[in-house]
Amino acid sequence: MSTLLLTRTDVQHSMDALTLLEEMREAFRAEAAHRDAPPQSVQASPQAGGLVRVSFPGTLPGIPAYTVKLQTASSSGPPASRGVVHLHALDTGALLAVLDAGHLLALGTGVVGALAADVLARPDASRVALIGAGPQASMQLKSLRLVRSLQHVRVYDEAPARAVDFAARMYKALDLPMRPAMSVEEAVEDADLVITATSAREPLLFPGMLRGGTHVTAVGADGPGRAELSAGLLRQSSFFCDHPAWSTLLGETPVPTALGEVLAGAKPGRRDAAEVTVFGAVGPPWQDLVAAWHVYQGVRGDDAARRVDFEA
């Protein structure tokens, strides 16, 4: 059989954020109702500072496939990771597609963050603080606009010039009032939606920094040694996660509530307008499957798509 080979450009052209958002919403409900044994994530350093991580298997009821994700990062190259997602047939194990992971995972994480905000943030939340000015911050902001009407954005980055550039670029792209902040405190002082998208190894947000009723989505602490939120803040907040069994990756002590259980009606979400809610995204493999299957369904019938027969 032939296997689809999908580049980053192929993936970008095949993804629709609003459709993926609704597919991810249903996937959270399905995963909460049929949670299997925790998926695995294995990582190793083939050289000093380098990293290889494999996450598997991405499975979900109703999708006849599974994923294996491979990501690499180099200490001598750019900080962004590179990777691919392998999509296999669930019954035979046949390799259906190999997809570049860059845009696939970025948009997947973006819509998960937007979904969490839609479920947990106040309906009138409109003032955004971005902590981190990298590619995932822009994807989170673009995705957030699918579920909330935004009033203005403040962005902080440890490199001030990066925050200035980000604010200028995103103002032009989104026609949304934006300005750089000189500190985390300045960024969050009037925010009711806070997004942290950093590689921080020490907490950035602490008790007393946030207004009552704020919602926080933390997407950067997705591996060992990373921490964006202090344990004290988490203890004082209502804490939610996309996969509680993986929540130790975030370094927290409180036991989180699964967002899928909130969507399924099994657990409460926000209880009142003054509550501070926190969503920690660790990106379990079933989310890779939802995004990969979204792309595969759109491309599989395209005769112009690149294919290879590995068994030839």
Span 279-299, pLDDT tens digits: 999 899 999 999 999 999 999
Average pLDDT, the chain: 93
Q: Does residue 252 register a pLDDT over 60?
A: no
Examine the domain organization and report whether 195 and 140 are in the same domain: yes
Examine the domain organization and report whether 235 and 98 are in the same domain: no
Q: What share of the chain is helix, strand, coil (3-state, %, to 5)?
A: 35, 25, 40
Examine the domain organization and report whether 147 and 172 are in the same domain: yes
Q: Does residue 207 register a pLDDT over 60?
A: yes
Q: What is the pLDDT of residues 260-281, one digit of tens each?
A: 999 999 999 999 999 999 999 9
Residue 277, C-beta contacts closer than 8 angstroms, at least 6 positions apart: 120, 121, 214, 215, 216, 237, 238, 239, 240, 269, 270
Length of the chain in terms of residues written: 312
Q: Does residue 163 register a pLDDT over 90?
A: yes
Examine the domain organization and report whether 304 and 200 are in the same domain: no
What is the pLDDT at residue 259? 97
Examine the domain organization and report whether 132 and 254 are in the same domain: yes
CA-CA-CA-CA torsion sign (108, 112, 118, 119): positive
Examine the domain organization and report whether 100 and 247 are in the same domain: no
As for how many domains the chain has, the answer is: 2
CATH code, 256: 3.40.50.720
Examine the domain organization and report whether 97 and 37 are in the same domain: yes
The pTM score is 0.94
CATH code, 45: 3.30.1780.10
Q: What range defines the domain where residue 72 resides?
A: 2-105+286-309
